[in-house]
Amino acid sequence: MSLSRRLLAGSLLVIGVLVTLVVLSLDWRLSVRLRDDTPAELLREAQPVATSWQADIDPDALANRAGAALGHRVTLIGADGVVLGDSEFDQPALGTLENHRTRPEVVAAMDSGVGASIRPSPSAGDEELYAARRGDLGVVRVSISTAAQRVIVRRVQADVLSAAFLATAAALLLAVFFARSVTRPILELRDDARAIAAGDLSRRPSLVAPGEVGELASAFHRLAEQLSARVAALEADDALLRALTEALNEGIIALDGRQQVLHMNAGARRLLGVRDELPFPADRLPRDRSLRDALTAALAGVSTEALELQLNDRSVTLTALPLDGGGAVLALLDVTPVRRLETVRRDFVANVSHELRTPLTIVSGFAETLQDASLPVEDRGRFVATILANTQRMQRIVDDLLDLSRIESGGWRPNPTHVDLKAAVQEVFDSVRPVAEQKGLALVPAIPADVPSVYADPTALRQVLSNLVDNALRHTTAGRISISARRENGGVALAVRDTGAGIGAEHLPRIFERFYRVDAARSRHEGGTGLGLAIVKHMVEAHGGRVRAESAANVGTTVALYLPDSGDIREGIEPTVVHSAEPSTGAPRTDSSAAT
């Protein structure tokens, strides 16, 4: 039941109780008043009758006149108790009436002058109230039926009930108005409280009321302001915390005591491969045994520090910490790049050691041999030439390593400008033409007229083309080597093609790695360091370009690179293989070794 109805019902109950008490009180008071005041009134009425009763006046006639005048029964009783006159009985009937000397009121009047009693009337047949006063000739009695009093009481009760009904109706209207005036601000406060509880923190009570309701509204307004400020502070802290966790490279997972995942940043989703909307049960996390054991231990209050495990082909370090009051926090750090760098470092050290060990062994061996004084002169010259060749090879390896290190560390930055492409290609071909003519290879420049220049660092462009041409020249025994170009995606796509034996498909993804060789023995024999294509890749990428290789067995290999134009450096542009306009018998085989 609503508050207004309860107030209305309470008001009706109070009004009903009050009306009932008023009616009962009036009824009782009226009855008492009639009982107490009527005998005195009747005695006052009997006084003039007693005074008027003289010896020369007919008692019965006097009783009739007095009864008609007073509206009450008047009886004149002689000193001997005989009824001499009665307003309700005629003269013949008087003789039939009993002697009234023993009547209580008559006895009292004879003794003390006045008397009164309430009793049934033997002659009238109903209960009457008698009041008697002694006179000179006898007793004058005035009586009234109690039924008449009851009629008066009932009339008064009816009047009181009518007045009570009208008062109740008026009080009901006032109670309705009062209930509405009291409940309206309370209902408004209730609606505001519900809105705030539902999340609408902008709601404020607008009422201005006196007394306690106004104080309650004012207190509620202050409470809403404080709650809004605290919620805003909590939201700001939560947003800051989420921003911090999202900015971390580590994956962060927070769980409550019921094993529900409440928070998971992007790093954790990426490492675990989870896409479920928060919150979700911990059972949806990857079912790695080490992860599950660490989670169970953290929920039991035991920490797990720096546990390394494999998740989705990633090396991950896991730290699990329990929370006060239940729950746990998991921190995941992807150490895959670190492990890869360690692997690269180990491979690099092993490769450098391997590459330098062979020429050092040769230099050491021939140097020891030259210490023999009996060694023929012609052998001495051949041994010295071998030592010089291997020393130069070690020098090339060191130079290439220094160049590669400088490029990878950012110590070298290209200084691009518009370079005459035909002149650069011709310069590269001129430097290798004697070797190409000795092997019977044709050097074919295929630079169209619409590609007069390329936006690149001149020295870097010549080194890139020289490394690619040297590779092609080293591994091509017949046919030709060509350099072609074309406009592509707001830049220039270049391609160096040869007609060598080609590279197996299993080797193509790795030919741009340092020291990787398809035919290691042949590459070392021909003076390759295994770093040329790695240098090419880093130089091209430093220009914002990309490089790739295509090859087919017994057909040849094509190394294609893309260099963007000035102001249009684009990431991720795949180089397009540009074929020469002239027909060819194959494509060159490209190895990751390069000449210096």
Instruction: Kindly list the domain boundaries of the chain, sorted by start residue.
Output: 3-151, 201-247, 248-334, 339-408, 417-564
**For residue 313, which amino acid is it?**
D
Angle at 583 between CA 577 and CA 587, to 5 degrees: 50
DSSP state of 589: -
How many Å apart are CA 205 and CA 191, to the nearest integer? 9
The answer, yes or no, to whether residue 351 has pLDDT greater than 80, is no
Residues 6+ apart with CB under 8 A from 433: 443
Please state which CATH number belongs to domain 339-408: 1.10.287.130
Handedness of CA 415, 419, 422, 426 (dihedral sign): negative
Question: Which tokens in the block code for residue 460?
Answer: 């870097």
Q: What is the dihedral of CA 370, 376, 377, 380, to 10 degrees?
A: -30
Query: pLDDT at position 571, please?
Result: 42
Q: What is the pLDDT of the chain when averaged over all its residues? A: 79
Yes or no: say if 261 and 283 are a contact pair by the CB < 8 Å rule. no
The answer, yes or no, to whether residue 366 has pLDDT greater than 70, is yes
CATH of 3-151, one of 3.30.450.20, 3.40.930.10, 3.30.930.10, 3.20.20.70: 3.30.450.20
The answer, yes or no, to whether residue 578 has pLDDT greater than 50, is no
Question: How many CB atoms are closer than 10 A to CB 303?
Answer: 12
Domain 248-334 listed as CATH 3.40.50.2000: no
Tens of pLDDT, residue by residue over 385-439, are: 888 888 877 887 777 677 767 776 666 788 889 999 999 999 999 988 998 899 8
Yes or no: say if 483 and 446 are a contact pair by the CB < 8 Å rule. yes
Buried b (16+ CB within 10 A) or exposed e, 247-264: eeebbbbbbbeebebebb
Q: What are phi and psi of 90, to 5 degrees?
A: -85, 180
How many Å apart are CA 306 and CA 320, to the nearest integer? 9
User: Which residue(s) pair with 492 in the sheet?
Assistant: 487, 563
Among the residue ranges 114-128, 216-230, 377-391, 529-543, the one predicted with the least confidence is: 114-128
Percent of the chain with pLDDT over 70: 85
Tens of pLDDT, residue by residue over 135-193, are: 888 999 998 877 776 777 778 778 877 887 888 788 778 877 777 777 777 777 777 78
Residue 339 Rama label (left phi>0; alpha psi -120 to 50; beta) = alpha
Report the CATH fold assignment for 417-564.
Heat Shock Protein 90 (3.30.565)
pTM score of the predicted model = 0.42
Buried b (16+ CB within 10 A) or exposed e, 35-61: eeebbeebbebbeebbeebeeeeebbe
Mean pLDDT for the stretch of residues 454-459: 89
User: Which residue(s) pair with 420 in the sheet?
Assistant: 453
Domains 339-408 and 417-564 share a fold: no
Higher pLDDT among residues 457 and 179, named by residue: 457
pLDDT band (50, 70, 90) for residue 210: low
